Amino acid sequence: MKSAAERFAGHRQALAAKVHAAGVKHGKTLEAIATVPRHAFMDAGLHAQAYEDSALPIGHQQTISKPSVVARMIEILHKPKHQLGKVLEIGTGCGYQAAVLSLLAQEVYSIERIRPLHDMAREKLRPFRIKNLRLIYGDGILGLPQAAPFDAIILAAAGLGIPDALLDQLAIGGRLVAPVAKNEKEQQLVMVERMSSHRYQRTVLDEVFFVPLQSGVV
C-alpha cells in the first residue's frame, strides 16, 4: 500500500507544472513547489483540492494562498545569481509557504499574530523537522528587530502601505514583496528594493487578492 507521500507525489509534480504554466520560471522555486506536500497543511476534508492552483480556507478568516502566487512572490525575492539568505515571513498561516521558503533560504523566520494558527502551523511543520525555520507568535507589523536585517521579507497579507518597521529591517540590497491595497477592492503586488540606508526602489507588479494586514495579536 502506498504511503500518503507516494500517493500525492504525482499531484505535487502536476501542481509545479500548473505554477510554471502560470508564468513562474525560477527553477528552484518550482522544485520546492514540487517537493512540499500541500495537503499536509490543510484539513483532511480539503485534501482532494490541495493540488489545485487556488486559495483555500484554513480557519480564522484566513486562507492558504494560491500556489502560483506563493511561487511568484518567492521568485521575485530572488536576485539573479544570489541565494536567499535570511528571510522574514509575515503571516505564517498554516505553515505551507514557510516550508517552501525553508528549501530556498538559509534561514526563515515566520511570524503569526493569530495564536491558534501559530499553534497549528507548529503542529503541521513538526513532522518535517525543518532546522532552518523559526516560528514566532507576535505582531508581524513590528517585524522581528532582534533578528534583523533580513535579505528578504515577504508579506502574506495586504495593508494600505508597507510598515516602516519592515522597511527598516530590510538589508541594503535586500528585497521585500507585499500585496498593497489600493482601495477596498483592488490590491497590487509590490516589490521594494533597499538601495541604500535611506533609498528604496518600488516596483508595482501584478493584481492580487489577499486577506487584510492587521496589527496586534489575538
Sheet strand arrangement including 105-112: 133-137, 105-112, 84-90, 150-155, 170-181, 187-194, 200-208
Residues 95, 125: contact at Cβ < 8 Å?
Answer: yes
Residues 63, 55: contact at Cβ < 8 Å?
Answer: yes
Radius of gyration of the chain (CA): 16
Task: List, in sequence order, every beta strand (DSSP E) within 20-128.
Answer: 56-59, 62-64, 84-90, 105-112
| Cell numbers for 41 | 497543511
Long-range contacts of 123-131, Cβ-Cβ distance < 8 Å, separation of 24 or more: 124/40, 124/41, 124/94, 124/95, 125/95, 125/98, 125/99, 127/40, 128/99, 130/99, 130/102
**Dihedral through CA 178, CA 184, CA 185, CA 187, nearest 10?**
-10
Cis bond upstream, residue 149 (ω within 30):
yes
Q: Which of 65, 68, 102, 110 is catalytic?
A: 65
Residue 130, classed as helix, strand or coil, is: coil
| Cell numbers for 205 | 507588479
Residue 102 a catalytic site member: no
- Catalytic residue numbers? 65
